[in-house]
Amino acid sequence: MPVFKFVISEPETRKAFQMEVDQAKSVGLIGKKIDDEFNGDLIGLNGYSLKITGGTDKDGFPMHPSVKGPGRKKVLLASAPGFYPKLKGQRKRKTIRGNVISDAIVQINVKVVKKGEKPLDQLIPMKPKAKKEEKKSEEVKEEKKEEKPKEEKKVEEKKEEGDKTREEKK
């Protein structure tokens, strides 16, 4: 079943939370536009009021507030979202998604307009750090520790060889 991934930003605490909701549960969001507000009850955040600030589709194309409709279009852009110019006055034709949420949208970015009774920390379960990442970082640390002694041994061996060759020359 398709899933919407919500990125919920809280301006007061400057924190962002991620949450996944089935599209079937949040059918009321399809057809809403960027800058529309909706009740947080639709996604399980009772008492909250949220404002849509953007999103991306299944292929990673960002939503743009100035493009009408739910489809993709190639538009000449001079600023964000969708294009970040490196030179002053630079423009580029880019493919972007319209400002209407459709079933092709995968990620929806929202910000909190009105807070509820409970803080978001309690309502949205935080994902624990991935054990794979921790294991990888531990392995990298162990490799670095192992590499240093090897390098020191090589340097010492070279010095000994150098000393031997000097003695032989004398």
Residues 69 and 152 in one domain: no
Residues 146 and 114 in one domain: no
**End-to-end Cα distance, the chain:** 82
Residues 89 and 107 in one domain: yes
Pairwise CA distance, residues 2 & 21, whole Å: 9
Q: Which domain holds residue 139?
A: 128-170
Residues 75 and 144 in one domain: no
Residues 79 and 139 in one domain: no
C-beta of residue 37 within 8 angstroms of C-beta of residue 49: yes
Pairwise CA distance, residues 33 & 75, whole Å: 19
The structure's pTM equals: 0.68
C-beta of residue 112 within 8 angstroms of C-beta of residue 10: yes
Residues 119 and 146 in one domain: no
Residues 98 and 157 in one domain: no
Q: What is the pLDDT of residues 32-67, one digit of tens each?
A: 999 999 988 888 888 889 999 999 999 999 999 989
* The pLDDT value given to residue 100: 92
Nearest to 62 by CA among 82, 32, 35, 84: 82
Residues 93 and 167 in one domain: no
Residues 92 and 11 in one domain: yes
The number of residues in the chain equals: 170
C-beta of residue 18 within 8 angstroms of C-beta of residue 7: yes
Residues 117 and 147 in one domain: no
- Let me know the angle formed at the C-alpha of 9 by 59 and 106, rounded to the nearest 5 degrees: 20
Q: Which residues of the chain have pLDDT under 70?
A: 1, 126-170
Cα 26 to the chain's mean position, in Å?
22
Nearest to 61 by CA among 73, 69, 78, 44: 73
* The pLDDT value given to residue 122: 76
Residues 118 and 144 in one domain: no
Residues 30 and 101 in one domain: yes
DSSP result, 104-146: TEEEEEEEEEE--SS-HHHHSPPPPPPHHHHHHHHHHHHHHHH
Count of domains forming the chain? 2
Q: What is the pLDDT of residues 74-87, one digit of tens each?
A: 989 988 888 899 99
